[in-house]
Amino acid sequence: MSDSTHPKLDFIREIIADDLTAGKYATTITRFPPEPNGYLHIGHAKSICLNFGIAQEHAEIAAKCHLRFDDTNPEKEEIEYVESIKTDVRWLGFNWGDDLYFASNYFAFFHDCAVHLIKEGKAYVETQSAEEMRASRGNLTTPGIPSPGRSRNVEENLTLFARMKAGEFKEGECVLRARIDLASSNMNMRDPVLYRIMHAHHHNTGDAWCIYPMYDFAHPLEDALEHITHSLCTLEFENHRPLYDWFIENCPVPSKPRQIEFARLNLTYTIMSKRKLLELVQGGHVAGWNDPRLPTISGLRRRGYPPEAVVHFCKRVGITKFNGTTDVALLEFDVRDFLNHSAPRRMAVLDPVKVVLENWSAEPLAAAEVANHPQNSDMGNRQIPMSAEVWIEREDFMEVPEKKFFRLGPDRYVRLKGGHIIRCTGFEKDAESTITLIRAEILPGTVGADSPEGIVCKAAIQWVDCATGLDAEVRIYDRLFTVEDPDGAEGGFLSVLNPDSLKKLTAKIEPSLASVEPGFSCQFDRTGYFVADSIDHQPGTEPVFNRTVALKDSWVKKGGR
């Protein structure tokens, strides 16, 4: 694969290099902190490549990247997601070694930090309702108004907080707030909530807690506890950084991590929010989180995207401070580029029409010999059984050939890949004028040889032997949405679903394809890249192939549709 990655460091890598040179840290420790409330998507892959990538690049100083499940919200999290996230990170080629953590294991520490803040007079129990709190928080031009709870003394706050923890209050009756600055121009600093009451069962801690920390409070503490040096997050947290730093300054933490923000990945024709992906899954618009049309890592894997291509794409997109949207065609280009080099070639016919080779007995060929890759002879050749009837693509025949059409037509010549040159001697049509059969003759002596004098044969086409070829289900996937920005669609993203995003065909495949293992990836000659479906493909009995990507970008041809 061509490597267009620029050797220049991005701004985050530059900061880290400078910090290391200045001796601020002996090494660098990053983390990837997913909330286990859904499957990972390609946006997460960008963050994974950044965080784990930095650790790999500094292996000589034992740099590390932690995998930390940010499982502080008991309501939406499930073990199924934890397992899928681990699988996806590994599939991308990264390894957290022994550094696997769960934020829920730090609940006691978060609680101790809250008590510390109360004792320092920097936190108080709030008994106003959520609406009252919102109303008294002010806005950009008006400072907030202190609530009665703000002046409660330390003893009272300690008692109330202990009672919150003991389950004496209902959800919403009170919260713990930081006492920071109600006049701050940064709304995040106007006495943010630290703890809320949730009478919910947690997948790890069970019913041990009924108070749960807010993300903004827990996250810096998690980072500090794990001695993270650089805490990399997406741009929407930029305004939260002063709060992140305030918690690090004011809580008894063992280290001082630094938060740095970068632009998240957005792709055209794609939605990336877990909430919306969940809606597609639960609404039955797709066949699960690993549907090959989704941008989830498990969907990309099932679609046949090689992890190397995904990682290469993430590198190419790069790390910046500016939000933008990347053309999904760029990702498809990387997939095509990688598969062009790595995928062996096979023959399949997606829209078959039968060709009868009427003089086959003149020079019958037991098997055609075909190269497995046109440029890579290391991949060797294979023998494909051949006989007097073959399937070819309907589009490789034209009754009245256009200019520049070099394939089969009445009295024209074409080569059956690895076999003879044939000449079309006739054809049959049904009542609807659909071609039902093509008649042809082989030209003896043309296997492995150039065209004889006076014969124009400019193309070789794929074919499948009728006697030994098999039927396979082939799933042609296209983009899930018809518009570039489904999030911005007036009727919502569900109103712009592409009705043609999945077409199922019964194709003819060469015999070797029937027995391949699920996940086997190849190019169907002249058609596209395909992968044996990881769930439904049954080797030997029920072959099922997914189209990973077409050979060319058909959306460019169609002018984006």
Catalytic residue annotation: 35, 264, 274
Question: What's the distance, Cα to Cα, between the start and end of the chain in Å?
Answer: 29
Nearer to ligand ATP, 49 or 176 (CB): 49
Nearer to ligand ATP, 99 or 358 (CB): 99
Min separation Cβ 320 and ligand ATP, Å: 11
Min separation Cβ 65 and ligand ATP, Å: 12
How many residues form the binding site for ligand ATP (CB under 6 A)? 14
Assess 315 for contact with ligand ATP (CB under 6 A): no
d(Cα 358, Cα 355) in Å, to the nearest integer? 9
The correct pick among 29, 34, 306, 545 for binding ligand ATP (CB under 6 A) is 34
Nearer to ligand ATP, 165 or 312 (CB): 312
From the list 39-47, 185-193, 440-448, 513-521, the region that binds ligand ATP by CB under 6 A is 39-47
Nearer to ligand ATP, 219 or 415 (CB): 219
The correct pick among 13, 44, 412, 415 for binding ligand ATP (CB under 6 A) is 44
Amino acid at 378: D
Min separation Cβ 510 and ligand ATP, Å: 40
Binding residues for ligand ATP restricted to 254-313, rule: CB under 6 A: 264-265, 272-274
Nearer to ligand ATP, 276 or 561 (CB): 276
Min separation Cβ 521 and ligand ATP, Å: 26
Nearer to ligand ATP, 44 or 417 (CB): 44
Question: What is the 3 state secondary structure string of 164-180?
Answer: HHCCCCCCCCCEEEECC
Assess 33 for contact with ligand ATP (CB under 6 A): yes
**DSSP H or E segment with residue 18:** helix 11-21
Assess 233 for contact with ligand ATP (CB under 6 A): yes
Min separation Cβ 469 and ligand ATP, Å: 43
| Residue pair 113/80 in contact by the 8 Å Cβ criterion | no
Assess 316 for contact with ligand ATP (CB under 6 A): no
Chain-centroid distance, C-alpha 247: 33
Which long-range contacts does 191-197 make (Cβ < 8 Å, 24+ apart)?
191/126, 191/137, 191/144, 191/150, 192/216, 192/217, 192/243, 193/126, 193/133, 194/114, 194/117, 194/123, 195/114, 195/161, 195/164, 196/171, 197/164, 197/169, 197/170, 197/171, 197/172, 197/173
Residue whose Cβ sits closest to ligand ATP = 43
Specify the 3-state DSSP secondary structure of 329. helix
The two structure tokens encoding residue 326: 């990347």
Assess 240 for contact with ligand ATP (CB under 6 A): no
**DSSP H or E segment with residue 335:** helix 328-342
d(Cα 120, Cα 251) in Å, to the nearest integer? 10
Tell me which residue has tokens 């713990």.
Answer: 176
- Who's near 497: CB < 8 A, 6+ residues apart? 285, 480, 481, 482
From the list 33-41, 109-117, 448-456, 474-482, the region that binds ligand ATP by CB under 6 A is 33-41
Angle, helices 307-317 vs 42-57, to 10°: value is: 80
d(Cα 272, Cα 40) in Å, to the nearest integer? 9
Min separation Cβ 61 and ligand ATP, Å: 23
- Bridge partners of 423, per DSSP, are 413, 441
Nearest CA to 113 out of 205, 184, 178, 42 is that of 178
Assess 523 for contact with ligand ATP (CB under 6 A): no
The two structure tokens encoding residue 85: 């996230």
Sequence-ordered alpha helix ranges (H) in 100-179: 107-119, 130-136, 154-165
Nearer to ligand ATP, 214 or 457 (CB): 214
The correct pick among 12, 16, 25, 43 for binding ligand ATP (CB under 6 A) is 43
Tell me which residue has tokens 């044996």.
Answer: 532
Assess 47 for contact with ligand ATP (CB under 6 A): yes
Min separation Cβ 44 and ligand ATP, Å: 5
The correct pick among 13, 28, 46, 335 for binding ligand ATP (CB under 6 A) is 46
**Which residues form the interface with ligand ATP (CB under 6 A)?**
33-35, 43-44, 46-47, 233-234, 264-265, 272-274
